[in-house]
Structure 1
Amino acid sequence: MTIDTRHGAPQFPSASSTITSSSRETMDAAIAELVAHKDDWLQTSVAARIALVETLIADFSEVAPRWVAASLQAKGLQEDSLYAGEEWLAGAWTLLHSLSQLKKALLDIQQDGHPHIPGPIKTRPDGQVTAQVFPWRSYDPVLFGGLKAEVWMQPGVTAETLSSTQAVNYQGSTQTGKVALVLGAGNVASIGPMDVLYKLFMDNQVVLFKANPVNAYLGPLLEESFQALIKPGYLRVVYGGAEEGTYLCQHPNIDEIHITGSDKTFDAIVFGPGPEGQARKAARQPLVTKRVTGELGNVSPVIVVPGPWSQKDLAYQAEHLASMLANNAGYNCNATRVIIQHKDWTQRQPLLQQLRQVLSKLPTRKAYYPGARQRYQAFLDAHPDADQYGTSDEQNLPWTLIADVDANQTDDICFTTEAFCSLFAETTLEAGNVVEYIERAVAFANEQLWGTLNITILVHPSSLKDSAIAAAIDQAIAQLRYGTIGINYWAGAGFVLGTTTWGAFPGHDIYAIQSGNDVVHNSLMFSRPQKSVLYGPFRGPLTPPWFTNQGKIARKLFPKLLRFEKAPSWLKMPSIIKTAILG
């Protein structure tokens, strides 16, 4: 089996599935049903949509425990696993949380024509508008421990015109009903359903969802819990691999396509596979001319800013960095792939040593995603001196750190290629001072690393008391060409917040798609966002429950959060807080 591991996200090999592929007759019938109801969906009132979402919340809440159990089984995890909380958080809670936000947005639209922005709207000195979108409700400061988030708008949007860029498909313009094909991702259980909701409620299109063979086992549960959309003909679910996907992408009654996955798959959809597809791309002659959007991969960086880090800081941030990789066994497009450090920082090696200690204690995980072993080996072939921690056998891959990659080797696989497995790298930059280092790190991330999906910056609060460093960080946020930026908090958390956007930095076209050309989630329905920025405490009083060293707490806490999300109440908060502290 040949795995394309150069430049970009992987080209994943075909995956087997326990679900029988849909026949062409079945797929045609599903599309015909959607075509028959696409205009009905346009005419569905906001009040009726609110009622649909309320039903989805109730129905998915009932299915959620089985949803989580199926994911755990497929990923080789026991209910009491250190990693079990992930499936409650990213797999189930995130979807229910998104539905709650969608309901609130629709209620706001019903009242005022657009979703309400929960925080202040500001205009930066350069004229760019930012809107604080998280916390989005009164519970969030308690649940998320100081985390805040903004959405930065594209140039040209003003504070006065911002609301007119929200929920544009609800502003009475003449529309034509459309059928969207959503090609599900196989790694995180909530991705496919949330993409379905985005196309339906934000883009106003009925949806044909093709489950990914890797997690097609969730398809029947999705059909069960989304009957409120299936019964009236607004959603259909089909199954299959590349052959079925190709048929659907080229179907004349599919108007738009959305994919979460690899740039290689995106190119195969738009231009066709193999050398012929590459030739079409070079000639700028796409095979599929309908609109195709994607949320794709990334070589996600973390910029470590030198500062007066204590031993506790080093230990905390080592757990933070390890958690960014270990989540979902590294099969995330937002997993950290390159840690950037100042070459002469005295704490560089102590941080790496702490990170090695964390990795050495982490249980290894099943390499469940297709092609993982071959991708992993390609990195090892390029860096045979990589540090490996834990068991490597037929089931598991070790946690792996490739330290001190030469930043001048711009074509190194660590910089050009998303590993999409249990591996990340570290590199260093020379600079005369911290401000110069920040500037060089921003340029390196923008120019040398593949993709524009997400990036994280770790900077000590004492460093930010230096006005020059604080100004350099502010300038870095403005200059970084990434769709999500995390300051002292893993940018990947932006995936679960919902009110933030999730997707690439705008500007990619189909001929150089990189991390994609659209956003999802975005429950406040901004039509002209540029990036989302998360701000968290450098080291808060409570360790976030998604850290790997909080696994025992997480598997107890997240089921409670799921029940809370179904029916939020302050009466449930004491039990949640107690569990978050004591487990």
Structure 2
Amino acid sequence: MTSATTPSTSTKAAASKPAAKKPAPRKPASDPAELGDGERARLDAAIGELHIGSRTWAALSLAQRVTLLRGVRTSTAAVAEDWATTAASSKGLDSRHPLRGEEWLSGPYSVLGALDAYIETLSRLSSGTNPLDGIRLDRAPGGRTRVQAFPLTGIDRFLLSGFTGEVWLEPGVTPNAARSAAGLAQRTPGDSGGVGLVLGAGNVTSIPVLDVLYELLAHNRTALLKVNPTQDSLVPVYKRAFAPLIALGLLRIVRGGAAVGAYLTAHPDLAHVHITGSAATFDAIVWGTGSAGTRRRRENRPQLKKPITAELGGVSPIIVVPGDWTDADLTYQAEHIATMRLQNSGHNCIAGQVVVLSSDWAQADAFRAALRRAYANAPERPTWYPGSSSRMDRAAHDYPDALVLGDRMLVEIGADDDATALQNTEYFAPVLGVVSLPGHGQEFLDRAVSYANERLQGTLGANLLIDPATERSLGNGFERAIAALRYGSIAINGWTAFAFITPTLTWGAFPGNTIDEVGSGIGVVHNALLLDRVERSVLRAPFRPFPRWVGGAVRPAGRGSRRTILPKPPWFVSARTGAAVSEGLTRFRAHGGAVGLITTLAAALRA
């Protein structure tokens, strides 16, 4: 589990490590009262050291903080290979597995990118300039201010051509207000936020340390990171990567199960809790468990006496807007959807789970066939996350007629089928569903948006696929539909996981959740521009890869037209050279080097 409390069947709540059969280890403590005096003393000492560190952090100038972050970048680059190989091994991927590149991108690549972006933001503040200077701000529907937050560097414009990212602020936030607040706690670096507790995720290796960076930079809080037991093998890597922060008392990393988490969430010397996990774990932290927790919730008497933020996942839609697609389009976008579900074996809070098709689309049957092929042909890999087998069994029980394809399941909801379980259960395993709604064009899109908002659990991320000609035909109606989607991250012709690894975008649920109805969580992370009052991030990507956008297939200019140098993104599960390209991009991010980049681009062209 990501925290103390009783085990849960909810998708992100990881149980303690499975017990070996010989010899059987002692069952991990689940009650903080069961912790030994020595373990309590070690935890108390770590918190005490972080309080001293908080004074050190408050005394550092912005220029000194930039120097410190550059040191963290150097140490992270030095462990990148160990990080990726350790993570891959922990998930059952050997050095020859075609999907091992996932661990390069979702681990060290993500963290290096975040460090680069935070360094840029703090450097601007240190020099007396605004983090948003030179960045275009314009208007989104509903009177919102929109920050054009990606790409901001020449290398990103080249390598990730055709991809753009926007951060939409809450209605009523003006461009001037956005500029005046940009920088968050780094605008007042001497004001300490105390010590925060980060209960780390167990599925993606960059999440725990990215959450630590956000505590430090957005809130001026030093951090005690309790890793999920699934990440125990990464602890030595984390300690080497973040050695400069540890040396100054700005970070402490501890292992432990439910009892450690319970002890820490109740600790009076910690000012704040951040968790990436499940709603069930969140509720257990805030309200408690059993009848006592039920009573506290009914009486609105939370047991947690400090603020909490959270990222808790949900059931993510993939809306497919009908259009006139080529056979190559059908194949490519089917592989795209397979990637959204099967990356990391589906053990992602942002994995696409429900494909929404038009029952009136002339190509619906052809697309279903392409999706079955792509889903079946993706490389097999272990379903490694604790509880995966029981969740797959649950899906099989919910949908006994589902198509079982080795290690994965495809649920095609018919007219007489009940989609309730699919809509309300984040399976956190390789289970993909397909539902149909009537309509064409704007009628279908509006109906699909309403379905996603009203029927699917959670508000973390939504994906939408639409060809350029159809997008142009919808005009402003398309942007109004995007504004109506109540999700914290929206990807148009992309996958929201790309927004996750883009540090200048934000990550978190759509605003409005409370501790009583937490949904997909409270607050945001990443957000390297340190923007205030964020509503959502919107990623836009090319519908067609290189070279199919060339010529008459896509107009050279206008709405929906996007050029890319990528024949197939390296994160696609069907990318033949994805592992090599992902490793090469990470090494380039870490160390630069034109020769290595050319080799990586050559591999990308063979994807």
Superposition TM-score tier, normalisation by shorter sequence: over 0.9
| Cα deviation digits, residues 485-534 of structure 1 (max 9, x gap) | 00111122110011100110011000000111111111000011100001
CA contact (8 A) 2:142 2:171 kept: no
1:571 is displaced (CA, Å) by 6.3
Q: Residue 15 of structure 1 corresponds to which residue in structure 2? A: 17
CA contact (8 A) 1:3 1:375 kept: no
Q: Residue 428 of structure 1 corresponds to which residue in structure 2? A: 436
1:84 is displaced (CA, Å) by 0.6
| Cα deviation digits, residues 203-261 of structure 1 (max 9, x gap) | 11000000110111111211122110011111111110111000000001011000111
Q: Residue 603 of structure 2 corresponds to which residue in structure 1? A: 579
**Distance of 1:10 and 1:562 partners within structure 2:** 27
Structure 1 residues 364 and 563: CA distance shift in structure 2, 3 A: closer
2:503 to 498, 504, 513: 498
The alignment partner of 2:95 has SS state of coil
Q: Residue 340 of structure 2 corresponds to which residue in structure 1? A: 324
Structure 1 residues 73 and 3: CA distance shift in structure 2, 3 A: same
Structure 1 residues 383 and 4: CA distance shift in structure 2, 3 A: farther
1:406 is displaced (CA, Å) by 5.4
Structure 1 residues 472 and 53: CA distance shift in structure 2, 3 A: same
* Equivalent runs, 1:436-447 vs 2, <5 Å: 436-447=443-454
Matched, 1:489 2:494: yes
Q: Residue 346 of structure 1 corresponds to which residue in structure 2? A: 362
CA contact (8 A) 1:119 1:134 kept: no
Kindly provide the amino acid, as one letter, of the partner of residue 15 in structure 1: K
**Distance of 1:494 and 1:217 partners within structure 2:** 27
Q: Residue 394 of structure 1 corresponds to which residue in structure 2? A: none
Kindly provide the amino acid, as one letter, of the partner of residue 500 in structure 2: F
Identity of counterpart residues, as a percentage?
A: 36
| Cα deviation digits, residues 446-505 of structure 1 (max 9, x gap) | 111000000011011111231xx2333211111111001001111221100111001100
* Equivalent runs, 1:250-329 vs 2, <5 Å: 250-329=266-345
The alignment partner of 2:348 has SS state of coil
Kindly provide the amino acid, as one letter, of the partner of residue 522 in structure 2: N
Structure 1 residues 9 and 407: CA distance shift in structure 2, 3 A: farther
**Distance of 1:125 and 1:98 partners within structure 2:** 29
Matched, 1:476 2:484: no
| Cα deviation digits, residues 135-181 of structure 1 (max 9, x gap) | 12001122113100100001121112211121121223873441000
Structure 1 residues 568 and 121: CA distance shift in structure 2, 3 A: farther
**Distance of 1:361 and 1:174 partners within structure 2:** 55
1:278 is displaced (CA, Å) by 2.6
* Equivalent runs, 1:150-229 vs 2, <5 Å: 150-172=166-188, 175-229=191-245
CA contact (8 A) 1:134 1:149 kept: yes
**Distance of 2:265 and 2:371 partners within structure 1:** 44
1:405 is displaced (CA, Å) by 5.2
Q: Residue 101 of structure 2 corresponds to which residue in structure 1? A: 85
Once the two structures are overlaid, the 10-residue window that deviates more, 274-283 or 144-153, is: 274-283
2:515 to 510, 513, 530: 510
The alignment partner of 2:147 has SS state of strand
The alignment partner of 1:351 has SS state of helix
Q: Residue 74 of structure 1 corresponds to which residue in structure 2? A: 90
TM-score under structure 2 length normalisation = 0.90
1:400 to 409, 431, 448: 409
**Distance of 2:397 and 2:535 partners within structure 1:** 38
**Distance of 1:218 and 1:570 partners within structure 2:** 30
The alignment partner of 1:105 has SS state of helix
CA contact (8 A) 1:183 1:260 kept: yes
1:236 to 233, 252, 255: 252
Q: Residue 453 of structure 1 corresponds to which residue in structure 2? A: 460
1:80 is displaced (CA, Å) by 1.7
| Cα deviation digits, residues 521-576 of structure 1 (max 9, x gap) | 110000111000011110120111111111x4122122221222124466654333
Q: Residue 555 of structure 2 corresponds to which residue in structure 1? A: none
**Distance of 2:162 and 2:203 partners within structure 1:** 29
CA contact (8 A) 2:315 2:425 kept: yes
CA contact (8 A) 1:129 1:159 kept: yes
1:419 to 423, 427, 437: 427
- Give the total of aligned pairs: 568
CA contact (8 A) 1:403 1:427 kept: yes
Kindly provide the amino acid, as one letter, of the partner of residue 599 in structure 2: S
The alignment partner of 1:341 has SS state of strand
1:58 is displaced (CA, Å) by 0.9
| Cα deviation digits, residues 64-109 of structure 1 (max 9, x gap) | 1111111111111111211111001111211111111111111111
**Distance of 1:443 and 1:3 partners within structure 2:** 34
1:564 to 558, 564, 588: 588
The alignment partner of 1:402 has SS state of strand
Question: Where in structure 1 are there 5+ consecutive unaligned residues?
Answer: 391-397
**Distance of 2:374 and 2:403 partners within structure 1:** 13
Q: Residue 545 of structure 1 corresponds to which residue in structure 2? A: 570
1:298 is displaced (CA, Å) by 0.9
CA contact (8 A) 1:456 1:491 kept: yes
Q: Residue 563 of structure 2 corresponds to which residue in structure 1? A: none
Kindly provide the amino acid, as one letter, of the partner of residue 422 in structure 1: P
The alignment partner of 2:413 has SS state of strand
Once the two structures are overlaid, the 10-residue window that deviates more, 110-119 or 335-344, is: 110-119
1:126 to 139, 142, 145: 142
The alignment partner of 1:366 has SS state of coil
1:4 is displaced (CA, Å) by 5.3
Kindly provide the amino acid, as one letter, of the partner of residue 544 in structure 1: P
CA RMSD, Structure 1 to Structure 2 (Å): 2.1
Kindly provide the amino acid, as one letter, of the partner of residue 447 in structure 2: R
Once the two structures are overlaid, the 10-residue window that deviates more, 22-31 or 451-460, is: 22-31
The alignment partner of 1:548 has SS state of coil
Structure 1 residues 117 and 189: CA distance shift in structure 2, 3 A: farther
Q: Residue 395 of structure 1 corresponds to which residue in structure 2? A: none
The alignment partner of 1:131 has SS state of strand
TM-score under structure 1 length normalisation = 0.93
Once the two structures are overlaid, the 10-residue window that deviates more, 275-284 or 421-430, is: 275-284
**Distance of 2:64 and 2:310 partners within structure 1:** 29
Q: Residue 31 of structure 1 corresponds to which residue in structure 2? A: 47
2:578 to 554, 560, 565: 554
**Distance of 1:553 and 1:563 partners within structure 2:** 16
**Distance of 1:491 and 1:315 partners within structure 2:** 20
Structure 1 residues 408 and 357: CA distance shift in structure 2, 3 A: closer
**Distance of 2:395 and 2:144 partners within structure 1:** 40
Q: Residue 262 of structure 2 corresponds to which residue in structure 1? A: 246
**Distance of 2:513 and 2:130 partners within structure 1:** 28
Q: Residue 115 of structure 2 corresponds to which residue in structure 1? A: 99
